[in-house]
Structure 1
């Protein structure tokens, strides 16, 4: 293959032209009376952050050796500055200080004061209320005893006692003309009531 063909001249990439660096204006040293180039930056100091002097090598060394950011500050001011620097000079407050202000309640954050389109705070509030309203479990045997007496798990002692008296009067043979067909059910009611009393539910 002839690489010197005129056909290749049309598709050859143009040679890269080295670009000349843009001319930069040389700054003079900021030290009075010095005519050398100020190639090295040095910070101007406190309350002038982001501003710099431009010195030559000799004068930037002199400046750095004598530089003191805290010059003119008392020892108390320096200690205060160092303490605030540990938190990035941001305002802080003690735990619980902001309570009682709008959007806060004594027990914590008040979700009613905040727009909650996704229901995040409502769900949390519902879970908190549900947790406080949960009653301790009464056990499987007690649940069965209550079911035997046809009562809910939430029945209180007066309700259990009233229900027991009602069932005994209804199922006792003396109340049924001597009919003993309901004695088995009566025994179950008595046994269930005894268990509820033993676990202090009746």
Structure 2
């Protein structure tokens, strides 16, 4: 029998113990099922997905211990690569054999029956990685794809690591505007928004020749 750990919310613990785990997750190869990790010698690697899943699952998370037949069809692989279809015993051996198991996952393409649940335990909420393995010490990407609205402390991170570059000084933009020789250059400078009065834009030479024109 192959042993795995599935991470879920503490609010569903009673239901899991009574009825098993519903097949609600979408597999990367299609279909619905349950994601889990093999029980590894390292506690941290076994429960590595806890910290990342806290970004998406509200409340306290717990670890559900599973026991599946060795010949149970599953898929295994790194979350950034296409998974391979193997049996449970081979999935365990494959993850145990890689130099760095972080980011690996096993997908069981069916629901987990109550008799396959061997126990539910509390787990430290800060164990594992967040965003991606080796993210610690790197500047986080605050773009809408990496940090969606409602993520934990996303507003604070976006203030600390803004996605857009800081606005250029008005004096610098006005210097470029005075030196602009074509309408496209003027539009490019005016497209860089900056707070401040518009009195300096009241009248300037027409780049196409002729009398002065008002910029709008």
TM range (shorter): under 0.3
- Higher relative CO (Cα under 8 Å, sequence separation at least 6) belongs to 2
Which structure's residues are more often strand, by fraction? 2
Quick check: which has more Rg, 1 or 2? 1
Which structure's residues are more often helix, by fraction? 1
